Amino acid sequence: MRTFGLEKLGIINTGKIHRNLSPTELIEIAVQKEEGKLSKTGALVVTTGKYTGRSPEDKFIVDTQGIHDSIAWGNVNRPIEKSKFNAIYGKLVSYFQNREIFIFDGIAGADPVCRKKFRIINELASQNLFIHQLLIRPSAEELANYHSPDFTIIAAPGFKCNPKIDGTHSEAAIIIDYEAKIGIICGSRYSGEIKKSVFCVMNYLMPSMDVLPMHCSANIDPVTGKTAVFFGLSGTGKTTLSTDPNRKLIGDDEHGWSNHGIFNFEGGCYAKCINLKEKYEPEIYRAIKFGSLVENVIMDPKTRELDFKDKTFTENTRVGYPINYITNAQIPGVGGIPSVVIFLTADAFGVLPPISRLNQDAAMYHFITGFTSKLAGTERGVTEPQPTFSTCFGEPFMPMEPSVYAKMFGEKIEKYNTKVYLINTGWSGGPYGIGKRMELKYTRAMVTAALNGELDSVEYKHDDIFNVDIPQFCPNVPCEIMNPADTWENKEAYIVYAKKLAKMFQENFEKKYPHMPENVVNAGPRA
What value does the CA radius of gyration of the chain take, rounded to a whole number of Å? 23
- Classify the C-alpha dihedral 444-445-447-452 as positive or negative: positive
Torsion of CA 315, 487, 441, 52, to 10 degrees: -10
Largest CA-CA distance found in the chain, in angstroms, rounded = 73
C-beta separation of 351 from 501 below 8 A: yes
The C-alpha atoms of residue 45 and residue 38 are separated, in whole angstroms, by 6
Catalytic, 215? Answer: yes
Cα 54–Cα 373–Cα 510 angle in degrees, nearest 5: 105
| Total residues belonging to the chain | 527
23-32 vs 125-134: helix crossing angle, rounded to 10: 160
Q: Which of 126, 197, 234, 242 is catalytic?
A: 234
- The catalytic position among 116, 119, 238, 311 is 238
**Cβ proximity of 126 and 190 under 8 Å:** no
- Give the active site residue among 59, 116, 189, 215: 215
Q: Is 54 a catalytic residue?
A: yes
The C-alpha atoms of residue 27 and residue 290 are separated, in whole angstroms, by 9
Query: Burial letters for 404-443: b for 16+ Cβ neighbours within 10 Å, e otherwise?
Result: bbbebbbebbeeeebbbbbbbbbbbbbbbeebeebeeebb
Q: How far apart are CA 300 and CA 511, in angstroms?
A: 49
User: Which residue, 22, 267, 66, 79, is CA-closest to 180?
Assistant: 66
Active-site pick, 119, 137, 318, 374: 318
Measure Cα distances from 228 to 217, 262, 339 in Å.
8, 9, 6
- Whether 234 sits among the annotated catalytic residues: the reply is yes
Is the Cβ–Cβ distance between 422 and 356 less than 8 Å? yes
Of 126, 239, 378, 391, the active-site residue reads 239
Residue of 115, 196, 248, 374 marked catalytic: 196
Which one from 244, 253, 347, 469 is the annotated catalytic residue? Answer: 253
CB distance 448 to 340 below 8 Å: no
Catalytic residue among 54, 59, 115, 195: 54
168 in active site = no
* 253 in catalytic set: yes
Active-site residue, 99 included: no
Catalytic (active-site) positions: 54, 196, 215, 234, 238-239, 253, 318
